[in-house]
Amino acid sequence: MASEFSSVQKAVDAIGRGEVVIVVDAEDRENEGDFICAAEKATPEVVNFILSGRGEFCVPVLPETCKRLGLSPLVDSNTAPLSTAFMTPIDHRSTKTGITAEEKSITVRAIADPTTTAMDFVRPGHVHPLLAKEGGVLRRAGHTEAAVDLARMAGLAPGGVLSEILDESGERATREFLWALASKHKLEIISIEQLIAHRRVNEKLVSRCAEANLPTRYGRFKVVVYDVRHETEQPFALVMGQPENRAAPLVRIHSSCFTGDLLHSLRCDCGEQFHMALDMISQEGAGVVVYLPQEGRGIGLTDKIRAYALQEQGLDTVEANLALGYQADMRDYGVGMQILKDLGLHSVRLLTNNPKKTDAFIYDGFDLEVIDQVPIMPPVNEHNEQYLATKRDKMGHRLPEDFG
């Protein structure tokens, strides 16, 4: 039984021919395999085969398609573990119940047709559109984005069809099961990591838009501001020396914290970590701080302050985010990875206590390696002790053994 992945190009060619491929994600993510095909190539026979996966039958599309068809999020607050963006389920108006493979095929191909409108569909229906992030797997390493990317790369309408693959007992299919399935049906099988790496060779989301020298109390840095395709926020990097010439320079990926970074709030350790990182890099004479606009672990400043109010009522930081309808941590580090690559880095020592940041390097596909996780622990005070304990106990942050 074969146990090697196909090339991305072979998978793209198969998608272009209207065939089904298997796409797997990282074993430390969902560890899931999906059947995927292009939406505009979704014949009844192909749809029937995809339905044999026995997972949810979904059609990933871009925001412009959702706008054209008047599709809204299925829920107001998405609390799914990986924020899978389910939209209004629909059927084409010409179908009867919409449940058969042929009827699903009609609906899927109509969704991919740029001339259809919201009036061509009834709702609710049996086909579940998923909203894919602009930028695809370079922004989110999910099957939703992979399906859209593969169709686009094949020169087809940017929309796909997918279904998770379950085994005979109804459990998530193992890698061994997926290899056997691909061999049996002569399907190409690739990983999302491969797709990210393939796209990263040929395209990127970030581009430098301004840079200048910046003298600081910690020494002379260069500040580099980036534009990010499909986003209005502008991250930046503070670069000291020539970190690209170091074997493994110190690096911090820092998410913005208005209250901590600018107001020196004692409720968190963000501002102190930011300045400690600059100081530690200054002592080595080379390194990078990437500053990402992801306020409040990705929930924005307004809801971050609302979360503070809930904490004053007795909730911890995780419970407060959940009460507001968010995950404990909504941040994404894909843009940060691309900035580090743009700066010429390959191996880094990462200044963080957060394993999520370290884990992001495992499946980013950018040829970046964390060779050491360097703790960065400011002094604890009476206002942030509970906050830090929650990060340790509920979010897995690696704090010194003698903390708490």
Q: Is the pLDDT of residue 83 over 80?
A: no
Residue-averaged pLDDT of the chain: 90
What's the pTM? 0.66
DSSP strand pairing (21-24 vs 33-38): antiparallel
DSSP strand pairing (160-164 vs 33-38): antiparallel
pLDDT tens per residue across span 220-246: 999 999 998 877 889 999 999 999 999
Residue 7 has what pLDDT?
A: 94
Residue 379 has what pLDDT?
A: 84
Residue 2 has what pLDDT?
A: 53
CATH superfamily, with its number, for domain 8-199: DHBP synthase (3.90.870.10)
* Residue reference for tokens 């930046």: 236
Residue 364 has what pLDDT?
A: 53
Residue 392 has what pLDDT?
A: 82
pLDDT tens per residue across span 307-353: 999 999 999 888 988 898 887 787 778 788 889 999 999 999 999 98
Please, are residues 236 and 291 in contact by the beta-carbon 8 Å criterion? yes
pLDDT tens per residue across span 286-296: 999 999 999 98
Q: Is the peptide bond before 124 cis (omega within 30 degrees of 0)?
A: yes
- What kind and span of H or E run contains 120? none
Please report, for the chain, the start and end positions of each structural domain, with discontinuous segments joined by +.
8-199, 204-294+331-395
Give me 92's structure tokens. Answer: 């084409």
Residue 325 has what pLDDT?
A: 84
Mark whether 349 is an active-site residue: no
Positive or negative, the CA dihedral 173, 179, 184, 187 is: positive
Residue 82: which pLDDT band, with cuts at 50, 70 and 90? low
How far CA 195 is from CA of 173, 181, 188, 242, in Å, comes to: 21, 20, 13, 30
Q: Is the pLDDT of residue 40 over 70?
A: yes
- What kind and span of H or E run contains 128? strand 121-131
Mark whether 140 is an active-site residue: no
pLDDT tens per residue across span 250-269: 999 999 999 999 999 999 89
Task: Check 109, 199, 252, 331 and give the catalytic one.
Answer: 331
Backbone dihedral angles phi then psi of residue 296, each to the nearest 5 degrees: 65, 40
| Residues 6+ away with beta carbon under 8 Å from 243 | 249, 251, 286, 287, 288, 343, 344, 345
Please state the rounded mean pLDDT for residues 147-175: 95
Residue type, 229: R
Task: Check 261, 329, 332, 364 and give the catalytic one.
Answer: 329
DSSP strand pairing (347-351 vs 369-374): parallel
Please, are residues 288 and 343 in contact by the beta-carbon 8 Å criterion? yes
Question: Highest mean pLDDT range out of 30-39, 158-167, 169-178?
Answer: 158-167
CATH superfamily, with its number, for domain 204-294+331-395: GTP cyclohydrolase II (3.40.50.10990)
Percent of the chain with pLDDT over 70: 94
Q: Is the pLDDT of residue 401 over 90?
A: no
Give the residue from 227, 246, 333 showing the smallest Cα distance to 288.
246
In angstroms, rounded to a whole number, what is the distance separating the alpha carbons of residues 300 and 282?
30
Q: Do domains 8-199 and 204-294+331-395 have the same CATH topology?
A: no
Q: Is the pLDDT of residue 356 over 50?
A: yes
Residue 1 has what pLDDT?
A: 46
Q: Is the pLDDT of residue 400 over 80?
A: no
In angstroms, rounded to a whole number, what is the distance separating the alpha carbons of residues 162 and 233?
31
